[in-house]
A = this chain, B = another copy of it.
Amino acid sequence: MAAEPVSHAAPPRGFPVAEFERRTRRAQGLMHAARLDALLLTTEPEVRWFTGFHTRFWESPTRPWFVVVPAAEKPVAVIPAIGAAAMAATWVEDIRTWPAPAPGDDGVTLLGACLAEQPARHGRIGLPMGHETHLRMPLADFERLRARLGARELVDCRDLLRALRDVKSELEIDKLRHACRVASDAFDALPGEMTAGRSERAIARAMTVDLLRRGADAVPYLAAASGPGGYDNIISGPSDRVPAAGDVLVIDTGATFDGYFCDFDRNWAFGHASDAARRAHEVCFDATEAGLAVARPGATAADLWAAMWRVLEAGGALGNDVGRLGHGLGMQLTEGHSNMPGDGTVLRPGMVLTLEPGMEFAPGRLMVHEEDIVIRESAPELLSRRGPRELPVVA
């Protein structure tokens, strides 16, 4: 690789305490309306959103981590002792630890006691149970915990959490914008790495290294796929396949800055492009334009889908196995709504999402294009640098 790439000035890391106070106050307002005595959180983005606790140690499946959000007080951390010092560096003050791992009682007693302390005004505790959520603790431990809750009911609080997280603060958007800018620069530079004989894997590796050197903290997601005249899926690679003349290559990446993701892709043809592939790329570009035109406050996610799908269908789409044409974006690679029929999520200023028109343009041949945007009062703000209408051809 050539000289060190120029890196953009990065926004500050973390958030002021006032942002966590605001988040918690808003949560407690919604909890009151939903008649919840507390929230119980077990997953990384939820714990981080309320506390600022930021570690890659979640990669280890051994220890569960819990945060309880009371009806009126600050969040309480119920966590393995190994995390005490890191949690103490956040705004959280009430930190209760146990010496994990302890398979016989991995925090269940401690968590049960913490929940029992919460004043039982409504007899209901919120736990994310709906779409896109999971419970990050052993199911057998959960059953034990449930037995300790007595008459208290656990109810799904997924919609409440979405209502809190769908609209991003400007400080969050600064992080998302930076992740997208770094990835835009890396995508722009990538054709220089596509020299003859290099495999998908080698190209993807060069992209990952470049993302890091330009200021990404991590690259949790990077997929690459290629094939003659088009690729047949967008999630399985990179492989050792070496793109040949006439191939189309797609790379899709989710790189992070301070725990916030970009998520967009770019396509290239090697040597020359078939008419069908070039046309499909233009159709996807035009579909994105249609999405951008509709992406205004008050429109729904289903409206975005309809605007983009109309263009794709008129452009010869045979189908779309992705199941949607974009989605919410933030602390997770995909989060929140889906641009698809039936998703009535109303767009509001500050929502961050992807426009991801894609289609099977010939049997077993896909074209998928993606951009990241913020909904603003009028036209949306592009976070990713808009890709070209014409399918780029690399020599």
Binding site for B on A (CB under 8 A): 13, 54-57, 59-63, 80-86, 89, 99-103, 106, 127-140, 156, 158, 205, 208-209, 212-213, 218-223, 232-236, 240, 254, 321-324, 327, 332-335, 338, 340, 364
Contact = CB atoms under 8 A, between A and B. Distances in A.
B99 A233 contact: no
A362 to B, nearest CB: 14
Number of copies of this chain that the complex holds: 2
Given A59-B254, A62-B334, A139-B156, 15 more contacts: A55-B235, A55-B236, A56-B221, A59-B220, A81-B321, A83-B233, A84-B233, A85-B233, A89-B236, A100-B323, A102-B323, A135-B139, A205-B212, A205-B213, A209-B209
Contacts of A338: 62, 101
Contacts of A62: 131-132, 327, 334-335, 338
Given A134-B134, A138-B133, A209 B213 contact: yes
A205 B213 CA distance: 8
Contact of A61 (B140, B219, B335): B335
Contacts of A55: 223, 235-236
Contacts of A136: 134
Contacts of A324: 101
A139 B134 contact: yes
A57 to B, nearest CB: 4
A123 to B, nearest CB: 19
The 3 residue pairs across chains A and B that have the minimum distance between CB atoms: A86-B236, A85-B233, A129-B139
26 contacts: A13-B240, A54-B236, A55-B235, A56-B220, A56-B223, A57-B221, A60-B332, A61-B132, A62-B334, A80-B323, A81-B321, A86-B233, A100-B323, A101-B131, A101-B324, A129-B139, A131-B138, A132-B138, A134-B135, A134-B137, A134-B139, A135-B135, A205-B212, A208-B212, A209-B209, A209-B212
A149 to B, nearest CB: 14
A233 to B, nearest CB: 4
Given A55-B236, A81-B323, A221-B59, A103 B127 contact: no
A219 B217 CA distance: 11
A89, A208, A364 pick with most chain B CB within 10 angstroms = A208
A346 to B, nearest CB: 17
B101 A61 contact: no
A103 B86 contact: no
Nearest to A97: B321
A322 B221 contact: no
Contacts of A334: 60-62
Nearest to A204: B217
